[in-house]
Amino acid sequence: MKEIIISEDIRNKLPDLVLGCIECDVAILEDNTQLWQEIERVCNKVANSAELSEVGSHPAIKASRIAYRTCGKDPSRYRLSSEALMRRVVKGNPLYRINNVVDLVNLISLKTGLSIGGYDAENIKGLISFDIGAKDEPYEAIGRGELNIEFLPVFRDGISAFGSPTSDSVRTSVTAITKRFLMVIIGFSGEDHTAQVVDLSLNLLKKYAQADQIETCLIR
């Protein structure tokens, strides 16, 4: 398991924060019919059970928005990935199909309301810290280009920031050649919920990505 720490700065601001971590070998597939059938069922359930104005009131999303404000970031301008995903579904827009691992991360976010980092572990170098973004810190977000991560909760390794609850980075993105996968469940909503999502994620990784050589931990 990659070594991950929570910085004193963010721990002092968010004392209840817990990170649920899973590292495992995966088999990447461009598509998975069974997975997409489950995704479509969950999308239909979300679309039929929530109004757009209600998305921000989801307990996990609400806790995450409060965490953003505590760190100094406006969650309405820099939406959490889970909130953006749920809003997209409620609007009736289809999800992008990337690969089975990225798609199942989106499925977990829809099921739980949590933002989840998914990374190619082999592209992460050295100690990982969960911290707060600095002014003018460079960050190339997937599908968004340069992202202003000042005051945003971020993951850093020995090279640069590479992950955030708003958008992960191109440098550590999961691609067709990914073999070792790191998932980090960002538990702004408490330890019990985070531990439950770790269990859910393990089941889905085994079912849809042939997860093997699995390591897990909770970081407080």
Q: List the CATH number of the domain containing 96.
A: 3.50.40.10
For the entire predicted model, the pTM comes to 0.96
Q: What is the pLDDT of residues 79-128, one digit of tens each?
A: 999 999 999 999 999 999 999 999 999 999 999 999 999 999 999 999 99
Distances (CA, A) of 178 to 92, 130, 147, 182: 31, 23, 24, 10
Beta-bridge partner residues of 163: 155
Structural domain for 193, as ranges: 4-219
The number of folded domains in the chain is 1
Q: Are strands 128-132 and 4-6 parallel, antiparallel or unpaired?
A: parallel
Q: Give the pair of three-digit tokens for residue 92.
A: 């009736």
DSSP string, 18-34: EEEEEEEE----S--HH
Q: How many CA atoms lie within 13 A of 216 on its CB side?
A: 16
Please identify which residue in the block is written with the tokens 């004392």: 15
Q: Are strands 116-120 and 180-187 parallel, antiparallel or unpaired?
A: antiparallel
What's the farthest any 2 CA atoms get from each other in the chain? Answer: 44
Q: What is the pLDDT of residues 174-207, one digit of tens each?
A: 999 999 999 999 999 889 999 999 999 999 999 9
Burial class (CB in 10 A: 0-12, 13-18, 19+), 181: buried
Q: Give the pair of three-digit tokens for residue 54.
A: 């209600």
